[in-house]
Amino acid sequence: MMHTLYRLMLATAAIALFASPLHAKTAPCLQERLGYPAGARILIIHADDFGMAHSVNRAIEQALENGWVTSASVMVPCPWFPEVVRWAHAHPQADLGLHLVLDSEWTGYRWGPVAPVDKVQSLLDKEGYFYDDPSLFAHVKLQDVRTELDAQIDRARAMGLQVSHLDSHMIALSSTRHLFGVYQDTGRAYDLPIALVKNGSYRMPAGVVPPPNALALDRVITMDPGVPPNRWFDWYKRNLSSLKPGIYQLIVHLAYDDQEFRGATFDHPDWGAAWRQRDFDMVRSAQFRQFLREQKFILTNWGELSKRYRTRVQPHY
């Protein structure tokens, strides 16, 4: 009797032990649920500002055609947007999102709304352009923001652009919780993913955390001012090689350092012509491509991630 009781106690203890959180099966991470290995580092190499200028367009087109970047986002209000549309029609396989625009940051090279001016007055400065400082967006009318974002997306679609995702120029739509709410609503309304980043990113409003099931990046890697030109590639190597398994986006800014873009950015070296030429030289270099291979990054784009998400995970845009 005692032996039977003892064996029963041991069996009960074993069941309790293996049912405990310490021995519970770990839930699959997002990259596993999307069909990638658990230890994979998934990377989107993303070019911002497609459509901003002819110089920018030339560089991004070349980068997309050669696979030096895997995705880009388009600025509909900018003067060179029609050139992007023409190129996109000839390259329907290209992964293109919309770089939703509420600001116009250069001194002598400006742009304004796609929506009728009288419908978006709070978005405009005294000269009729978008403001050049995202800090001013705390005072805009949210209905004006909705009207302008809808106008940009509707114009892109009307011109035949196949849109894979939405993101925000100069992170303007993440500058306040209210603007971020409009951003989320817009993504849901058009059934397009927005560039969500997990908790702790400066690209999300303070206190805002994506739902657990959301298609969210672990981190966005993008260079800020202060890196010496001779340390450019080293900065990218250091920041990419340190990444743990997860889903990441590397944002680069591409252009030729030519007369057009030097003129547009003459008083703004940060993200200006020379900066963008260095980014362009880096992504197209054999050294950078070899580094990515050695690091075993799995390269993808927004369209592929979204497709996997829709077929494997319940969408929560």
Q: Is 34 helix (H, G, I), strand (E, B) or coil?
A: coil
pLDDT value, residue 192:
97
Q: Which residues contact 145 (CB under 8 A, 6 or more apart)?
A: 102, 123, 179, 182
Q: What is the mean pLDDT of residues 66-94?
A: 98
Q: What percent of the chain has pLDDT over 70?
A: 91
- What's the pLDDT at 55? 98
19 secondary structure, DSSP code: T
Q: Is the pLDDT of residue 220 over 60?
A: yes
pLDDT at 137: 76
Instruction: DSSP letter for 98, please.
Output: E
DSSP class of residue 27? P
Positive or negative: CA dihedral 233, 239, 242, 246? negative
d(CA 82, CA 244): 39
Contact (Cβ atoms closer than 8 angstroms) between residue 99 and residue 122: no
Q: What is the pLDDT of residues 126-152, one digit of tens each?
A: 999 999 987 777 789 999 999 999 999
Token pair for 224: 């800020």
Q: How many CA atoms lie within 13 A of 285 on its CB side?
A: 14
- Give the three-class secondary structure for 134: helix
Helices 273-283 and 232-241 cross at an angle (nearest 10°) of 60
> What's the confidence (pLDDT) of residue 23?
45
Q: Are 99 and 48 in contact (CB under 8 A)?
A: yes
Both tokens assigned to 25: 């099966």
Q: With 80 as the cut, is the pLDDT of residue 7 above it?
A: no
Tell me how far apart the terminal alpha carbons of the chain are, to the nearest angstrom.
Answer: 61
Tokens 């409009």 label which residue?
A: 182
pLDDT of residue 27: 79
**Which range, of 25-34, 49-58, 277-286, averages the lowest pLDDT?**
25-34
Q: What per-residue confidence (pLDDT) applies to 109?
A: 96
Q: What amino acid is encoded at 71 in this protein?
A: S
Both tokens of residue 211? 């739902």
Looking at residue 133, what is its pLDDT? 82
Residue 99 and residue 194 in contact, taking contact as beta carbons nearer than 8 Å: no
Buried b (16+ CB within 10 A) or exposed e, 240-278: beebeebbbbbbbbbbbbeebbbebbeeeeebbbebbbb
> What is the pLDDT averaged over residues 28-38?
93
Helix then strand then coil, in percent of the chain rounded to 5, is 45, 15, 40
CA distances from 307 to 47, 218, 300 (A): 20, 18, 11
Say how far apart CA 202 and CA 209 lie, in whole Å: 12
Residue 284 · residue 256 · CB < 8 Å: no
Please, what is the average pLDDT of the chain? 91
Distance CA 182, CA 149 (A): 9
Per residue in 154-213, pLDDT tens? 999 999 999 999 999 999 999 899 999 999 999 999 999 999 999 767 788 888 889 888
Sign of CA dihedral 288, 219, 69, 53: negative
pLDDT value at residue 140:
93
